[in-house]
Copies of this chain bind each other. A is one copy, B any other.
Amino acid sequence: MPKKKDEMITMAHGAGGEIMGELIKDEIMSRLKKSSKHVQVPLSALEDSSVVNNTVFTTDSYVVKPIFFPGGDIGRLAVSGTVNDLSVMGCKPLALSLGLVIEEGLPISEVRKILGSIAKTANEANVPIVTGDTKVVERGALDKMIINTSGIGMSWPPLEKNIKVVKEHRKFKGGWLRDSNLRPGDKLILTGYIGDHGVAILSFREGYGFESTIKSDVRPLNKMIRKALMAGGVVSAKDPTRGGLSNALNEWSEKSKVGILIEESKVPIREGVRSACEMLGIDPLTIGNEGKCIIGVVKERAEAVLKAIRSTEEGKKAAIIGEATKEVRGVVMRTFVGGKRIIETPAGDPIPRIC
C-alpha cells in the first residue's frame, strides 16, 4: 500500500480512506480560516455531508466504468448516491445539481439514455435537479463521462418525530443522524443483501459471467429511510459505499467511540455474491453497495423499525445484524462457526471505479 510520501497519485488515493484524507487535511483544512458561524458540521468532522445554515450539503463525483452496467448506469448512480448521502443524515433531500463532463465523440444516443435515467431516478426519489453545468473535453482527455451531483437537504417532520421517540428511551443530543450518535445497546439494521453492486460491475467489466444473475442494487433510499424515521428510534445511519460494510462499521465505531459486534450468519449475502467473492478472493464486507444502508436504532425500537423497513420493496430483506457494545473494541464479527474475527477498515479499494 502506497504511503503519503510517495510521489505520484495512485489508485489508493481514491479509495476513500486515510491517504487522501491526510492530503486534504494537510493542504486544505490546516490552511482554511476558522469556518464561519453558519457552518454547524464542517468538513473537519469528516462526515460525507456538512450542515451549513441548517442546510445539509453534500457532493460526489461518479467515475464508474462502464457507464452502463447490469442493474443501472452512471446517471442512476449519480442521483441515487447523492440522495442517499443526504438521506442518511436524516434530512429531506431538497434538490440536486448536475455537473456533466463528457468526452467528445460519445454517441448522443448514450448521453440521452443517461439523461433519461437521471430524470427517471430523480422522479423515483421525488428530488428535483435544479441547476447544472456541462463541459465537453476533446477525445482521449476523458474515459466517456464523469458526473458530479451535489445535493442539499433540510430537517423535516419525520426526523423531528424520530428524535422524539429516541428521547423516550435514552439521552440524545438531537439534530442529525451523525456518525457519532451510536451508544452501547443500539441495534444495527442492514437493509438488504450486500456486495451486489461491486460484484455485478466487476464481473460485467471483466467478463466473469456472474452478472447474468447478480445486478447492481443502485437505487435511492430516501423513501425507505423516511419510513424508518416515521417508525421512530433511529439514532444514526450510514450507506456502505466505498469500502463496503467494513469501512462503514469502522467509521461508526471510531466516531461513536463504541465497539460493534455483528453476527456473520445474520448478514444478508446472496449465494451468487458469496461464491463470486470466494472465487475472486474478495471479502464481500469490503465491497461497495449503492442501494443499502445500515441503521442504528435504540434497542427498544429495533423490531418496530425493522418492520417498517421490511414493508418497503428496497428493504424487504433487512435484518438486525448486530449491536453497539462495550464488550468488544473496534468491529468484531462472530463467524458461522462461532469464532470471532476482527473487521478492519479496508486498506485500498478491492474493486476500482465502481462508483
Contact = CB atoms under 8 A, between A and B. Distances in A.
12 contacts: A9-B102, A11-B138, A14-B134, A26-B115, A55-B55, A57-B130, A57-B150, A59-B132, A60-B133, A61-B133, A63-B141, A138-B352
A112 B123 CA distance: 40
Contacts of A142: 141-143, 146
A134 B60 contact: no
A246 to B, nearest CB: 19
Nearest to A114: B27
A67 to B, nearest CB: 12
| 9 interchain residue pairs of minimum CB distance | A14-B136, A27-B115, A150-B150, A59-B97, A31-B119, A50-B130, A148-B148, A141-B143, A50-B131
A103 B119 CA distance: 29
A23 B112 contact: yes
Nearest to A115: B27
Given A14-B136, A26-B115, A43-B130, 10 more contacts: A8-B106, A9-B111, A32-B122, A50-B131, A53-B94, A57-B130, A59-B132, A59-B150, A60-B133, A137-B143
Question: In the complex, which range does the number of interface residues on chain A fall in?
Answer: 35 or more
A28 B132 CA distance: 11
A33 B126 contact: yes
Interface string A94-106: 1101111111111
Contact of A26 (B94, B103, B112): B112
A282 interface: no
Interface stretch (A34-42, A258-266, A299-307, A317-325): A34-42
B23 A130 contact: no
A12 to B, nearest CB: 8
Nearest to A113: B27
A58 interface: yes
A209 interface: no
Nearest to A32: B119
A57 B152 contact: yes
B58 A111 contact: no
A62 B263 CA distance: 45
A136 B50 contact: no
A10 interface: yes
Interface in A1-22: 6-16, 20
A33 to B, nearest CB: 5
Contacts of A352: 136, 138
